[in-house]
Structure 1
Amino acid sequence: MLDSLPLSRKQISSIAGAQARINVWHGAIRSGKTIASLVAFLIAVSVAPASGLIIIVGRSLQTIERNVLDPLQDEALFGPVAKLVVHTRGATTATILGRTIHLIGAADSRAEGRLRGMTCCLAYVDEATLMPRGFWNQLLGRLSVKGARLLATTNPDNPGHWLKKEFLDRAGELDLRQWHFTLDDNPALDPAYVASLKAEYVGLWYRRFIAGHWVQSEGAIYEQFDPEQHVVKTLPRIERWLCDAIDYGTVNPYADLLFGIGRDPGTGRSRLYVASEFRWDSRMERRSLTDAEYSKARRAWLARVPQPESNVVGVAPEWTIVDPSASSYIEQLHRDGVSGVTAADNTVLDGIRTVSSLLATGDLAVHESARGLIDELPGYSWDDAAAERGEDKPIKDNDHSCDALRYGIRTTEALWRPYLPTRLEVAA
């Protein structure tokens, strides 16, 4: 197996040295830490005690399949061993080297109950900083078989994160080994690809995911936003109207952004556009709207949006993406016959990171008519008090169009990503 992989010295050293009770690979994206940890995991499975369960933990079953099982089943990476990794999509177990492996999603504190009663001899954790603190404690308590080990990977996070403060920084006091990886530790990366990655990530995300540093979030979230670069006076012909995305508010403003894909007239390359915005601030208007009134106002707004380079007026987006907490409004839209209504993907940091990357590469533009969004973007900032607690959170103030921006981009990523095939690789 090792003969078929172009491993660096650090990767080989970490594979051989992963004999502690807790073993953690952390650092930059695409730095080779995941491949090294997976090789170490396969070796650990092959010598694991017969008693005790083997588990793989991730944010969800889908992330386990994407980040762990799919690479293990890749024959280009693992050769004949890949055929010994057997899994049916959606199943909560897999078979690796003849051993049954239990797959556990740990999205929130409720996941802790899935560990109750287990006795484990080996655990692999994907993206450890995303695990709830109580779940991590429970998992360590379940690794009670003699010689039991935990293998974990993670990208850097806030330096006040519990994993950093209570485990990595105390490695000398614990039975813990860790390896920090940078992009230079992955010999398989093409130099042009490395240069592209470095261009795509900016600010906080560059420092964490490219430099591999545990740094605190502070200041402006979209520090790369430049009205001269990102705000346009005219739109090109829109090839595909992807969605309108809604951050719902009654007392707070209601913000709805319209997204489309078009070709930048200067470069000829595809670009994601915020083409229009409907916004209702009940405080400014001195009147609140009901769900039915918002739905009617939305339809009227879309009916008068002009299609660029065309005499056609009115747009019917493929999807209508709504703040997941606005269940009554979602129901109203269904009653009004709106097709393609779906709750937004509200993974805040992933959404912010994706928007940041689009701004950094110039693949996102905003029409000048979207004044609510344009006014909010420069002031959208990290919460310093939350950062001191080891948490990355935006300040929840004057952020309604920014939330709608994140909803639309994150939820339709599978639709717009093929138009940008050479950029914006998924962080892993």
Structure 2
Amino acid sequence: MILDNLPLSRKQIVSIVESRRYRVSIWSGAVRSGKTIASILAFYDAIVNAPDSGLILICGRTLQTIERNILEPMQDPAVFGAWASEVHHTRGSNVAVILGRTVHLIGASDVRAEGKLRGLTACLALVDEATLLPESFWTQLLARLSVPGARCLATTNPDNPAHYLKVNFIDRAGERDMRLRAWDFTLDDNPSLSAEYVAAIKAEFTGLFYLRNILGRWVAADGAVFDMWDPDVHVIKWDDLPAMRWILGVGVDHGTTNPTHAVMVGHGIDDVLYCMDEWRYKANNREARWTNVQLSNGLRGWLAGAHHPSQDPDSPDPFRGYVIVDQSAADFRVQLQQDGLTTHSAKKEVLYGIRTMTALMAAGNLKFTDRCPELLKEIPGYVWDTKATEKGKDEPIKLNDHGIDSTRYLLATTERKWRRQVKLAGYSTPELTAA
């Protein structure tokens, strides 16, 4: 029924059918290339034929990404017809019921997540964005798929060519004992996409993420992180700021020997995010470094000022947003709370934050005012670490990045607040079938 109503390419159909023969099936390739739809259809089929014993799992970076990338599309009747009504889930719950079977949802954002799998026995797992999961979690997951006939279905965008998933699994797919099959998808493999949409997302990506997310290549990070940076496009005068829907908050990178840097971001009425203003403290060689009490006083003094040209500088609007603070600065966060600010611990995953910033900048939906001079100095010089690349990791060089860290903390932590209104290059589409 679903195959009749949903336009599918030959590669999607072949991958769904042939995945039944393999213990591990991996759909890899460009964004919106149809791999997620194929994997979900294969997952429906696998649930129907799953062994009665053992747990069924959906794994992803976080519970929220599982809900957004997997469960919400599965519940769309325009895409999956009557089967959508067989997917029951309460947002925030770590279980769902799909086709009458209980499905456990497991987030794996760091190496500690591997402990969530210990002791369980599974018969089926669907993994969203497998390269974002720690290797220890992936290895433990495969070990827990121990029921006869157990299967793992996984999707991923390409990553570093030395990534464990590429080297230890995808590249070994042809080996006799691996019982693994991998399919590479391009935008041409998704018949749901219009030519206009394909042209649009191709234009939105640049550099590393174009090679990976559009061309579907496993390439190493090299050169500038923000290679789409154009001051003529991304920088505006503070006096030209549009009205704001709301202030998302302030991200803070707390420093002891390094500077402490705060960046305020607002959501404009044009649905563009703006780095509106910044505050930075760096001790000089002739003075003692500020204590947390002094840093709090300095930050709160800055927050009490005007941050938008429409505000009266003598009587500005009070700041009511969140202050997003680096997790490692727990003592500073306590000080801010004692001083009356509402704080939140930052989501710190570096690559995810960078991907979010680059996607927004590529779409023209993250801009900076000239009231952020230190942040503007950092962006052009933010480069990938070639030594980390050789080890199969994507990491920027940790140098002159305090404003960038503050910005990515805020954007990643507040994503659920701005995500539906602000276009993120390559991640927003009017067609769920384009997933």
Q: Aligned match of 1:170 in 169, 172, 188?
A: 172
Q: Is the 8 A contact 2:123 2:145 kept in 1?
A: yes
Taking the TM superposition and a 5 Å limit, the aligned residue runs for 1:232-251 are 232-236=236-240, 237-239=242-244, 240-251=246-257
Q: Is the 8 A contact 1:202 1:357 kept in 2?
A: no
- Cα deviation, residue 231, structure 1: 2.6
Q: Aligned match of 1:394 in 383, 393, 396?
A: 396
* Alpha-carbon spacing, 1:60–1:288, altered in 2? closer, same or farther (3 Å): same
Q: Distance in 2 between matches of 1:70 and 1:60?
A: 14
Q: Is the 8 A contact 2:253 2:402 kept in 1?
A: yes
More displaced, 37-46 or 296-305? 296-305
* Alpha-carbon spacing, 1:122–1:377, altered in 2? closer, same or farther (3 Å): same
Q: Distance in 1 between matches of 2:204 and 2:323?
A: 28
Q: Distance in 1 between matches of 2:164 and 2:424?
A: 36
- Cα deviation, residue 262, structure 1: 4.1
Name the residue aligned to 1:327.
Answer: 330
* Alpha-carbon spacing, 1:77–1:51, altered in 2? closer, same or farther (3 Å): same
User: What are the Cα deviations for residues 17-74 of structure 1, in whole angstroms up to 9, with x where unaligned?
Assistant: 1021111001111111011011111111111222333222222233222222222222
- Cα deviation, residue 75, structure 1: 1.5
Q: Distance in 1 between matches of 2:192 and 2:419?
A: 24
Q: What is the aligned length?
A: 422
- Cα deviation, residue 157, structure 1: 0.8
User: What are the Cα deviations for residues 128-157 of structure 1, in whole angstroms up to 9, with x where unaligned?
Assistant: 112221222222222223322211111111
User: What are the Cα deviations for residues 321-379 of structure 1, in whole angstroms up to 9, with x where unaligned?
Assistant: 222221111111111112x3222222222211221122223323222232211111111
Name the residue aligned to 1:266.
Answer: none
Q: Is the 8 A contact 1:7 1:187 kept in 2?
A: yes
Name the residue aligned to 1:187.
Answer: 191
SS of alignment partner, residue 177 of structure 1: strand
Name the residue aligned to 2:432.
Answer: none
Q: Distance in 2 between matches of 1:345 and 1:291?
A: 21
TM (normalized to structure 2)? 0.90
- Cα deviation, residue 166, structure 1: 0.7
Structure 1 residue identity aligned to 2:394: D
Q: Aligned match of 2:98 in 89, 96, 117?
A: 96
Structure 2 residue identity aligned to 1:241: I
Name the residue aligned to 2:262.
Answer: 256
More displaced, 344-353 or 161-170? 344-353
- Cα deviation, residue 196, structure 1: 2.3
Cα RMSD (Å) of the superposition? Answer: 2.3
TM (normalized to structure 1)? 0.91
User: What are the Cα deviations for residues 165-208 of structure 1, in whole angstroms up to 9, with x where unaligned?
Assistant: 01111111121111111111111123222222222221111111
* Alpha-carbon spacing, 1:323–1:46, altered in 2? closer, same or farther (3 Å): same
Q: Is the 8 A contact 2:28 2:183 kept in 1?
A: yes
Unaligned runs of 5+ in 1: 264-268
User: What are the Cα deviations for residues 298-330 of structure 1, in whole angstroms up to 9, with x where unaligned?
Assistant: 122233436314544445342222222211111
Identical-pair percentage: 50
Q: Distance in 1 between matches of 2:55 and 2:29?
A: 29
Q: Aligned match of 2:155 in 153, 156, 168?
A: 153
* Alpha-carbon spacing, 1:304–1:132, altered in 2? closer, same or farther (3 Å): closer
Please tell me whether residue 208 in structure 1 is matched to residue 212 in structure 2: yes
- Cα deviation, residue 7, structure 1: 0.9
SS of alignment partner, residue 282 of structure 1: coil
Q: Distance in 1 between matches of 2:53 and 2:419?
A: 45
Q: Distance in 1 between matches of 2:164 and 2:157?
A: 14
